[in-house]
Amino acid sequence: MGTRPPFASVWFDCDSTLSAIEGIDELMATLPEAVKRDLLELTQRAMEGAIPLAEVYETRLAKIAPTASQLAEIGDRYAQRMTKDADLVVAALQSLGKRVGVISGGLYGPVRALAHRLGIQDADVHAVPIRFDADGNYVDFDRACPLWKNGGKVTLLRSFAPSLRPLAFVGDGATDLETQGVAADLFLGFGGVAIRPVVKQRAEAWFETPSLAPVLSFVLTDEERERLARDPRFSSLLRRAYADN
């Protein structure tokens, strides 16, 4: 088991963690069936760690070529399909003075839109930026961003200031699992949306409830739990947190 509470910051993956959809799957919906099937298979293999993420990332975006307006729609869908209790968990952690952020291999615009709905500041949102032309058509993604490759989340977490540690990271995929023991002081595997067998098998901590509430049971001290229990906003959330785990 990793570091025990208290944690200075808690970081979340976006797709299949803070939101119950995969943004890239939504963007592939209008592609020809054969192309979509091939890309979905590649994506699944990358999420499970069977092939490098970079091997898939460039191919997917080149074929999808998402427009600015399409990405705005994905941001709305992220929020519409927000994982149960995600907003309350973020609010509870922030009320305790913890930094809360998002680290995702997804596309920055939609991830940022969801983060705004959750009350997370731009400075704590990390995802892959996209470049568009003057008409909002896809040009390329930011290849200098580490998050489109395996090890990108490790690189980013290692760059964080000491004031953000100890830190916990919550995610569902293989690139999230990479942070365990090397960049995150505690990794929490989440299977409430999608269960990746390799993550379930190897995560030092794991939960697969439909709600993100059990995150609190892993990252709070007894004193922090008592503080939240005195706040009417979070009393029912705490019951779910500790009942479900």
Active site residues: 13, 15
Determine if the peptide bond prior to 197 is cis (ω within 30°): no
CA distances from 228 to 92, 233, 241 (A): 7, 8, 12
- CA quadruple 19, 21, 24, 26: dihedral sign: negative
**What gap in Å lies between CA 78 and CA 22, rounded to an integer?**
8
Ramachandran sector of residue 129 (left: φ over 0; alpha: ψ -120 to 50; beta: rest): beta
**What gap in Å lies between CA 142 and CA 148, rounded to an integer?**
9
Contact yes or no for 104/110 (Cβ under 8 A)? no
Q: Which residues contact 137 (CB under 8 A, 6 or more apart)?
A: 65, 67, 68
Among 177, 219, 231, 232, CA closest to 199: 177
Q: What is the separation, in whole angstroms, between the first and last Cα of the chain?
A: 16
- 3-state helix, strand, coil split of the chain in percent (to 5) is 45, 20, 35
